[in-house]
């Protein structure tokens, strides 16, 4: 039986909307609203959806880079949302993140060697000589010359900076790495190199990935399972091949219909979504997708669909399968 490394239950993150001189709270932006999923040890779980659907906020809330409003996050049988700062700091060695923007995620005042040594210093790992050796080993393993340790981030290209970011995430020997759109800011040719690197590192170090992206072709290539988010909520989750071959949720069907087909002889019916994406500050009642759904029923407007497993390993939140 596959070991579960991460369990997310009823995760919510609401950002307050404040107005007036006294900055009173007049509402909330429901960035993440009751999200549930598990991540198995050694797998890659992809999370996809439109911009603003809550993918990145979910990843950062799991790591408590931003504090979740409510919910439980079990990692190695410890509830991250209930841990003290000191306990969480110790556990952070096993949880790392690679950010989307390789230009903003590296301190421009530090040389690369210091950027990579800093996490080991904070956690009191290794001697200075061992840290220096590990830095050069990780740089080489991530496709960079060890001499890069003596250079500043501005001396590298975007792809090279992302390799540095990946090397930094590996310095503490993590079990889980959240990849927050790690290739979206890179050229297509560089994207494939980074994806191949991530796959090689996963096999070598036994890593577990939470891969956040909006490019479905990239997610399909790297992910074992894929979760689809819409307006802060989970719409569907299934194994990668199952999701692409048999999408159940109307939103997933619309997303997949938008993927370009390289063969001009192949014709695909495009599903066009009507209307605009609702605001997470004022989400629709019932099913959040009913305002744009071609299959919407009366019950969709009044009642939120239940997140349920409709076939082995295939979860969906839709009244069509109630």
pLDDT of residue 4: 93
Confidence of residue 265 (pLDDT cuts 50, 70, 90): confident
Q: Is the pLDDT of residue 134 over 60?
A: yes
**Portion of the chain with pLDDT greater than 70, in percent:** 100
According to the model, what pLDDT value does residue 1 have? Answer: 54
- Per-residue pLDDT reduced to its tens digit, 77-91: 899 999 998 889 889
Token code pair at residue 90:
């110790």
Sign of CA dihedral 248, 253, 255, 259: positive
pLDDT of residue 262: 74
The pLDDT, as a whole number, for residue 290 is 93
- Cα-only R_g, the chain: 21
Q: What is the pTM of this model?
A: 0.93
Q: CA-to-CA distance for 245 and 235, rounded, in angstroms?
A: 16
Please give the Cα distance from 160 to 151 (Å, whole number): 12
Average pLDDT over residues 292-319: 94
Do 24 and 187 form a contact (C-beta atoms < 8 A)? Answer: no
Is 170 a residue whose pLDDT tops 90?
Answer: yes
Here the tokens at position 240 are: 């990668």
d(CA 231, CA 226): 17
Which domains, from first to last, does the chain contain?
Answer: 4-321 (3.40.50.300)
- The rounded distance, in Å, linking the Cα atoms of 226 and 219 is 8
Residue 207 pLDDT grade (very low, low, confident, very high; cuts 50, 70, 90): very high
CB 227 within 8 A of CB 37: yes
Percent of the chain with pLDDT over 90: 82
Rounded average pLDDT over 226-236: 96
pLDDT interval class at 271 (50, 70, 90):
confident
Q: What is the mean pLDDT of the chain?
A: 93
Predicted pLDDT at 258: 83
Q: Which helix (H) or strand (E) holds 197?
A: helix 188-205
* DSSP secondary structure code for residue 66 in this structure: S
As a whole number, mean pLDDT of residues 226-247 equals: 96
Q: pLDDT grade, residue 69 (50/70/90)?
A: very high
For residue 267, what pLDDT band results from cuts at 50, 70 and 90?
confident
Average pLDDT over residues 244-267: 86
Whole-angstrom distance, CA of residue 29 vs CA of residue 13: 8
């Amino acid at each position: 039986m596959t070991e579960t490394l991460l369990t997310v239950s009823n995760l919510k993150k609401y950002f307050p909307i404040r107005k007036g001189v006294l900055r009173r709270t007049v509402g909330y932006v429901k960035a993440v609203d009751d999200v549930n999923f598990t991540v198995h040890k050694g797998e890659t779980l992809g999370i996809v959806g439109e911009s603003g659907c809550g993918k990145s906020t979910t990843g950062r809330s799991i790591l408590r880079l931003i504090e979740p409003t409510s919910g439980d996050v079990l990692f190695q049988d410890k509830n991250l949302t209930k841990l003290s700062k000191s306990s969480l700091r110790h556990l952070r060695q096993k949880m790392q993140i690679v950010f989307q923007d390789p230009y903003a995620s590296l301190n421009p005042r530090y040389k690369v060697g210091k950027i990579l040594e800093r996490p080991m210093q904070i956690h009191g790992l290794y001697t200075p000589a061992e840290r220096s050796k590990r830095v050069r080993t990780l740089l080489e393993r991530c496709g960079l010359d060890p001499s890069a340790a003596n250079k500043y981030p501005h001396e590298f290209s975007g792809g090279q900076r992302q390799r540095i970011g990946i090397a930094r995430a590996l310095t503490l020997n993590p079990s889980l790495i959240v990849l927050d759109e790690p290739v979206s800011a890179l050229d297509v040719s560089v994207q494939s190199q980074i994806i191949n690197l991530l796959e090689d590192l996963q096999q070598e170090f036994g890593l577990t990935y939470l891969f956040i992206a909006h490019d479905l072709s990239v997610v399909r290539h790297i992910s074992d399972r894929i979760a689809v988010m819409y307006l802060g909520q989970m719409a569907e989750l299934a194994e990668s091949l199952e999701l692409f071959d048999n999408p159940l949720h109307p939103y997933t069907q619309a997303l997949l219909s938008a993927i370009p087909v390289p063969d001009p002889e192949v014709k695909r019916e495009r599903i066009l979504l009507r209307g605009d994406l609702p605001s997470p500050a004022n989400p629709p009642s019932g099913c959040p997708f009913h305002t744009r759904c071609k299959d919407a029923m009366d019950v969709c407007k009044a009642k939120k669909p239940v997140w349920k497993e409709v076939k082995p390993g295939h979860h969906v939140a839709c009244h069509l399968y109630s």
